[in-house]
Structure 1
């Protein structure tokens, strides 16, 4: 127990830094969709495209981020991501001040989302690789679990914080906060040592690493669609239904996500990744269907809560299995490849959900999320029976 506490204390600056970075992501999720729809007057498809392009940018730079972490050190990769996040805040602020020029502001938002995607790729790949390297691969599940807590706590708190600050102070101050949070993220980890690198190690090509972890990655991809539906469109669903508290939807999703990780962090190691993932996916599917059938705000919020519980342990449960398939020198690349499936999911899910919303309304996209969770379960069953 003492050793466990020491490990968590060792990587706590990284967790705080990740929390600050994902507060920035949560801030944009609480601000950008409403800005595009209400002030720039573009369609739900455009909302989905702008939100989703960040995840595409993250996807396309995963190999680069993994290579930086493995060859220059995980600390270097993570700090590059922090600098990019700071730059992103400036671009968002510029886009907001150009909002009277709708097309130009939209173009700047696309640029900001692309930059934000690159920043996220570097920051989270570096942070995960760094944390595992500092405490040892045998605690990789714990590192991924606590990284996830920092990530989704940041998203869950960032979105309502952005909504509140936008109403009280103005959207420009919200984007300015991103710059401050980036500086905090940098300062938190500045004294931690970088990881040694082995330049003589023969690197496995990225496409081969993807092949090694593809089954876990595909299951992760389909399981992530429900999260994409909530993060991109839950605010607009509440507006469409005249429900008054979209912030509570973000808070309950993130809150139950974090609580599940806090109290069930050891489950993947104790019960195995397959069992934990299957139970988690079933809960997520029920949560998505509840939102899809919701006739009241309370029912939708319960659906968000169940989605948070279900989605919580999927990444660490499958991720531990994924990184066991590669050598320690390729851990950053493997984590980048594994997370790339998450990025593919979010990059595709946003525009597809936007099209579905345009045809059938915002509530219909949560049936899409529920079916995706069922497909993820099917992938795991097929893998198990091979």
Structure 2
């Protein structure tokens, strides 16, 4: 009889075990988030370029992240998640040096912005290695019964870093200019890297050193598509909630996104174990309904209080859709290919964010900002069909086996 993967490790022990991984992800996304709100100001005000160049500079990082997802996942599988994270941190520091070089030649704006674009591309590759390697490292550090918690808590470190670093980066830029952002991007990853050198780097004992990209993609694409559809809802809050508040003269304009992020972080910290206990697809199904309701409420809101409550509901719902479907993605692959699986899975979110923003913006220009949230609620709701399908397949497999199916057993 097949043994179920154990998940008896206390939550506190799991949290302590994951601290090095979460610290690395936190540092990586602090330097990413610190630059996001100030890059447009630096490129337009300091270097004198227009909106097209601003878009190119900002978008280069995300394009590089998407392109490097599969590479970072394969590297993590072959060399261990910790080594992938260390490579990502070193690469992030290199991006910081390019930022500083760009500032040093600011008197030649074309040369400066060209170096800045290269730095953004390098940082995009670093981001892939840090987040994909971080999840692979966490999965290797704990038993398979805690996969959902790993995905949820590592993602929480990312969201917390982005929430904190935006205001912090703006303060640095206002006081000391873009050179301070470059210095932060150089030094913080190196400081964290030094603290991680003695951390363990468990690696899966490979039965066969083979990354079958087609087989892994076949196992991941459906959960990835579901996560991508749900991420359109996240994209709508990230890109358009402040505009909705400003358009309705609700102050402060950042309350919607803050409510979304706070609810997401709290839910993941308290409920991150649910996908492991009850099955990723079932939890994703339940929580995506909450997310869709929250987005619909934002669109219907006629007051800041109601819109903020809707944003908090949307954050609560989205909190476990990504890790829930991530459990299904990881559970459909062999242990030696989990880094690659998470790389492909995350790439679906990159595509959703890249396409969702412009598409929702086009809708907003033609029908108003409230329509953005009606559309995103509908798109997000489509995830329920995928979650139902995955949950039904899991139930059939359980019945065929005659005993509860291990949540993370390769199918």
Provide the TM-score with structure 2 as the length reference: 0.81
Secondary structure of 1:61's counterpart equals helix
Secondary structure of 1:224's counterpart equals helix
Per the TM alignment, residue 69 of structure 1 is displaced from its structure 2 partner at its CA by 0.9
Asked if structure 2 preserves the Cα contact closer than 8 Å seen for 1:51 and 1:232, the reply is: no
Per the TM alignment, residue 274 of structure 1 is displaced from its structure 2 partner at its CA by 2.4
The reply on whether 1:259 has 2:259 as its aligned counterpart is: no
For 1:125, the equivalent position in structure 2 comes to 132
Per the TM alignment, residue 7 of structure 1 is displaced from its structure 2 partner at its CA by 3.0
For 1:276, the equivalent position in structure 2 comes to 283
For 1:316, the equivalent position in structure 2 comes to 323
Asked if structure 2 preserves the Cα contact closer than 8 Å seen for 1:74 and 1:130, the reply is: yes
1:275/1:33 Cα in 2 relative to 1: closer, same or farther (>3 Å)?
farther
For 2:189, the equivalent position in structure 1 comes to 182
Q: Bigger CA drift: 259-268 or 361-370?
A: 361-370
1:1-386 superposed matches below 5 A: 3-32=10-39, 42-43=50-51, 51-92=58-99, 110-196=117-203, 201-235=208-242, 238=245, 243-360=250-367, 364-384=371-391
Provide the aligned C-alpha RMSD in A: 3.2
Q: Bigger CA drift: 306-315 or 160-169?
A: 160-169
Q: Partners in 1 of 2:198 and 2:80 — Cα distance?
A: 14
Please, which runs of 5 or more residues in structure 1 have no aligned partner?
none
Asked if structure 1 preserves the Cα contact closer than 8 Å seen for 2:149 and 2:276, the reply is: no
List per-residue Cα deviations over 1:209-261 (Å, max 9, x = no partner): 11112111100111112222333454555555555434444432222111001
Asked if structure 1 preserves the Cα contact closer than 8 Å seen for 2:282 and 2:388, the reply is: no
1:221/1:37 Cα in 2 relative to 1: closer, same or farther (>3 Å)?
farther
Q: Partners in 1 of 2:179 and 2:237 — Cα distance?
A: 24
Q: Partners in 2 of 1:241 and 1:92 — Cα distance?
A: 38
Q: Bigger CA drift: 253-262 or 286-295?
A: 286-295
Q: Partners in 1 of 2:21 and 2:229 — Cα distance?
A: 28
Asked if structure 1 preserves the Cα contact closer than 8 Å seen for 2:236 and 2:376, the reply is: yes
Larger of the two Rg values belongs to structure: 2
List per-residue Cα deviations over 1:13-49 (Å, max 9, x = no partner): 2112211212223223333356567776745x87666
Asked if structure 2 preserves the Cα contact closer than 8 Å seen for 1:281 and 1:373, the reply is: yes
Please, which runs of 5 or more residues in structure 2 have no aligned partner?
1-7, 394-411
Provide the TM-score with structure 1 as the length reference: 0.85
Asked if structure 2 preserves the Cα contact closer than 8 Å seen for 1:216 and 1:321, the reply is: yes
Q: Partners in 1 of 2:100 and 2:248 — Cα distance?
A: 30
1:370/1:156 Cα in 2 relative to 1: closer, same or farther (>3 Å)?
same
Length, aligned pairs only: 385
Q: Partners in 1 of 2:363 and 2:106 — Cα distance?
A: 27
Q: Bigger CA drift: 63-72 or 277-286?
A: 277-286
Per the TM alignment, residue 273 of structure 1 is displaced from its structure 2 partner at its CA by 1.9
Q: Partners in 1 of 2:226 and 2:160 — Cα distance?
A: 23
1:317/1:307 Cα in 2 relative to 1: closer, same or farther (>3 Å)?
same
Q: Partners in 2 of 1:371 and 1:38 — Cα distance?
A: 39
